[in-house]
Structure 1
Amino acid sequence: MRLYSLSVLYKGDPKVHLLKAAYDFSTFNFFQRSSVQEFMTFTSQLIVERSALGSRASVKEQEYLCHVYVRNDGLAGVVVADTEYPQRVCFTLLDKVLDEFSRQVSKIDWPSGSPATISYAALDGYLSKYQVWPPWNPRGGCVEAGKRCPQPPDLDASFFRQHNTMESLLERGEKLDDLVSKSEVLGAQSKAFYKTARKQNSCCAIM
């Protein structure tokens, strides 16, 4: 089981933008990591953009699952994980992160914030702590010293929407290739990498 990224975004009108993110690229080729990061940001923004306020969804893309929670106030979180990682744990993590973020970062700063301007340093720690579940430490026992490891809550199934692929998020007539070409998040190198991977039918190497 593995988590690849954990991000906090803001769903504004008309655009979605990234506020803060943490990544674990230890399983990727060093030369691919910058492109992988850009595609995770692009994918997270696209999913949040196409998700309604107050909704949760899990979107499958190749061997990845992108879990998204968009609150009614526009604050959103996305976890990118492999398909073996428990869905409930991902949403437990998103609930915790978004609740903490909203207490520490003023709502006034969300619409104009960016990773460079937002002061919130907990994401790397959460990504590392939740990399395995339950969160055991190397010496044995739960990370929460002296406490039993928390169990993820049972979430109402009606909260979730399950999409088969990223393409299922697109509107009629839209193509993922066109969205990639127009993206402001992806650099020229990442777009070229995407096109090459698509031709080789190996997009799973990116996202």
Structure 2
Amino acid sequence: MKLYSIHVLHKDPTTANVRIFKSESDLSSFSYFQRSSVQEFMTFSSKLIVERSGLGTRSSVKENEYLLHCYVRNDGLSAVCVADLEYQQRVAMSFLGRVLDDFTNKVPAAQWAGIQKEKDCSYVGLRELLERWQNPREADPMTRVQEEVEETKMVMHNTIQSVLDRGEKLDDLVKKSENLSDQSKMFYTSARKMNKCCNYV
């Protein structure tokens, strides 16, 4: 999972003109000679996707092995991040919302008209946010909960598998069991035959 760049932009609601307020990237996975071209492509694509998106929309666009996630607020303030295909869309959208909230808190809307180029923008929070959200488990509570649930499932699966690894089969145990009535054994056998989703039982 990798986040490559984040751009904060503004789409003028009346003219649809798009300006880049601030951008940050982590291109360490690219060779030194590729980085400037990759940076240009990401900046160009981010601006283009905001230009083509309506106010109040969220979207994700696939380009080769990358996904561009875009959030354009109703006031025109926008954010685009470029990530690999493994980076979850839900997490990317949470990241964009967090970036825009942080930007709004530190750079009030009254100052936006004066930002014509990145150097005009005083905002300095992007690098920290980009680094923090490289690991969604640390930045996003929902991801942490999801992973803990998956870990619990994995432990459960491993436990069931370890019983089967000893050469025991659940079918054989059911047949031999003295604690199950003949009717329960028949029910188990017919359920196994009729419902493939019961194979884990």
Q: Establish whether TM, by shorter chain, passes 0.5.
A: yes
2:29 is matched by which residue type in structure 1? T
Q: Which residue of 1 aligns with 2:142?
A: 151
2:29 equivalent to 1:27: yes
Distance of 2:78 and 2:112 partners within structure 1: 11
Gaps (5+ residues) in structure 2? Answer: 144-201
User: For residues 46 and 108 of structure 1, what CA distance do their matches in structure 2 show?
Assistant: 25
- Determine the structure 1 residue equivalent to 2:121: 118
- Quote how far apart the aligned CAs of 1:150 are: 1.1
Question: Aligned partners of 1:133, 1:99: CA distance in 2, in Å?
Answer: 18
Residue in 1 that maps onto 2:132: 129
Structure-to-structure mapping, 1:13-162, within 5 angstroms = 13-113=15-115, 114-135=117-138, 150-151=141-142
Q: Which has the larger radius of gyration?
A: 2
* SS at 1:88 equivalent: helix
Q: Which has the higher helix share?
A: 2
- Deviation of 1:31 (Å): 1.1
Show the counterpart of 1:189: none
Structure 2 SS opposite 1:90 = helix
Q: Which residue of 2 aligns with 1:175?
A: none
Contact kept? 1:22, 1:124, Cα under 8 Å: yes
Contact 1:54–1:69 under 8 Å retained in 2: yes
Distance of 2:70 and 2:42 partners within structure 1: 13
Aligned CA distance change for structure 1 residues 130 and 60 (closer, same or farther; 3 Å): same
The corresponding residue for 2:191 is: none
Give the Cα separation in 2 of the matches to 1:48 and 1:9. 8
1:95 and 1:52 map into 2 onto residues whose CA distance is 16
Is the Cα contact below 8 Å between 1:10 and 1:111 reproduced in 2? no
**Equivalent pairs, count:** 140
Letter paired with 2:68: C
TM-score normalised to the size of structure 1? Answer: 0.65
SS of equivalent residue, structure 1 residue 80: strand
TM-score (norm 2): 0.67
| 1:27 shift after superposition | 0.7
Encode CA deviations 1:89-123: one digit per residue, 9 max, x unaligned: 11111111101211211213323412101111111
- Partners in 1 of 2:87 and 2:113 — Cα distance? 31
Q: Which has the higher contact order (CA 8 A, sep 6+)?
A: 1
Q: CA deviation at 1:129?
A: 0.8
Kindly provide the amino acid, as one letter, of the partner of residue 73 in structure 1. D
RMSD: 1.4
**Aligned counterparts, 1:158-169, within 5 A:** none
